[in-house]
Amino acid sequence: MLAAVALGSATAAGAFTPPSLHADLRLTKNVPCPGNSPHPVGPRVVRRFHAVAAVSCVDAFRTYPHSGQWEVLVRRVAVGSVSGLQSYFERSSKHHVPNGVMCPDVLISTIVPVLVDARSRWLLPTTPRNGCGQPLAGGPPNVRWHVVSIRKVKLIVSAQALAADCPMRVGNTVAWAGPPHDARAGAPLFDRAPRRVRVCIFRTPPNNFATGNFVRGFRLDAARTRRLLGALGGPGPRRGCPKQRNFATVGGGPRLGATVELGGCYRVERPDRTAGTAKPAVVRAILGR
């Protein structure tokens, strides 16, 4: 435990000065995040506690230059309003639903902080709920938070995919393209052909063709865009085409463009979700395999 820190001081005029941020950081240095705090306590215990600080840890997303987009854990310390925060968690839950009240289908979650006293003792309160299981009165009051640390948890989008404006994973829907929804040979791929397109290349695991993982991405110049789009307008594929691990999305994104297999029958899933084929030689020359 850390040594006790004064709760605040009284001025000559009698005004109360809350603990400083420096004191809060000292008090909360070894306090765990709420998710790592066992055994939440109810309002009776909370009422006997005198919190002077609070710790909250929340999930967020941050983009780092040259490192990509990450899921991060943000550790924060409350800046003021701790007494109001504690007061909310001192309230008792209500276990009955009033007559005529319809409970919502969506369960509302709330951020529960760890409350800390002047001796660095801490507790995790339970959330007071109404008869429908929702947090009372819309949740805890608004509190200003000071960010103490940000820890990377999981890479969401790599720097390469972010730079290419490509997702990290895409469903390999073209692997199931085929009759009975065939495209008419030579039909335009887009209602309005884009001048340039973005290409994202994906590869599935060897034992699962359902989802492709990002490999690389790039944009085509106007000349290569015209050549590639002209090569994606073939008729519907024959039956029995083997599924391919490598495929590419072409256009404004997976939902706005076309998808083409890089091998086999070179099946194409068009923007209107009909099935066509591509000219292998042109696709290989521009997109590779």
DSSP string, 241-288: PPP-SEEEEEESSTTTSEEEESSTT-EEE-TTS-EEE--HHHHHHHH-
| Mean pLDDT, rounded, for 18-30 | 84
Evaluate if pTM is beyond 0.85: no
Q: Cα(272)–Cα(225) distance, rounded to whole angstroms?
A: 19
Residue 34 lies in a domain: yes
Domain boundary among 156, 184, 203: 156
* Residue 1: band (very low, low, confident or very high) from pLDDT cuts 50, 70, 90: very low
Question: CA 73, CA 55: separation in Å to the nearest integer?
Answer: 13
- Residue 241, domain extent: 158-287
Domain count across the chain? 2
**Average pLDDT across the chain, whole number:** 86
Q: Name which residue leads in pLDDT, 97 or 18.
A: 97
Q: Are residues 13 and 150 in the same domain?
A: yes
Distances from the Cα of 58 to the Cα of 34, 66, 69, 74, 181, angstroms: 9, 24, 16, 5, 46
Percent of the chain with pLDDT over 90: 58
The answer to the question of residue 177 being in a domain is: yes
What are φ and ψ of residue 175, in 5° steps? -65, -20
Instruction: Please indicate, yes or no, whether residues 42 and 71 belong to a single structural domain of this protein.
Output: yes
Q: Which helix (H) or strand (E) holds 226?
A: helix 222-231
Q: Please report the pLDDT score of residue 221 as a whole number.
A: 95
- The more confident residue out of 111 and 218 is 218
Residue in the block written with tokens 């730079």: 163
Question: Please, how many CA atoms are within 13 Å of residue 86, restricted to the half-sphere of its CB?
Answer: 20
DSSP annotation of 182 reads: B
pLDDT of residue 252: 63
- By mean pLDDT, which of 132-141, 161-170, 208-217 is the weakest? 132-141
Q: How confident is the model at residue 168 (pLDDT cuts 50, 70, 90)?
A: very high
User: Residue 54 falls within a domain, yes or no?
Assistant: yes
My answer on whether 174 and 61 are in the same domain is no
227-283 pLDDT per residue, tens: 999 999 898 888 888 999 999 999 865 456 899 999 999 999 988 888 899 999 999
Cβ-contact 249, 241 below 8 angstroms: no
pLDDT at residue 152 is higher than 90: yes
Do 169 and 142 belong together in one domain?
A: no
For residues 95 and 17, state if they share a domain. yes
Domain boundary among 135, 156, 177: 156
pLDDT tens column, 75-119: 999 988 899 999 999 999 998 887 878 888 887 878 899 999 999
Structure token pair of residue 113: 């902080």
Shared-domain flag, residues 146 and 13: yes
Report whether 73 contacts 18 (CB < 8 A). Answer: no
Asked if residues 249 and 165 have their Cβ atoms less than 8 Å apart, the reply is no
pLDDT over threshold 50, residue 6: no
How many CB atoms sit inside 10 A of residue 222's CB? 11
Domain boundary among 156, 180, 213: 156
pLDDT band per the 50, 70, 90 thresholds, residue 14: very low
Regarding whether 222 and 163 lie in a shared domain, the answer is yes
Residue that wins the pLDDT comparison between 4 and 117: 117
Sorting pLDDT into bands at 50, 70 and 90, what band is 223?
A: very high
Confirm if 153 and 147 have CB atoms less than 8 A apart. no
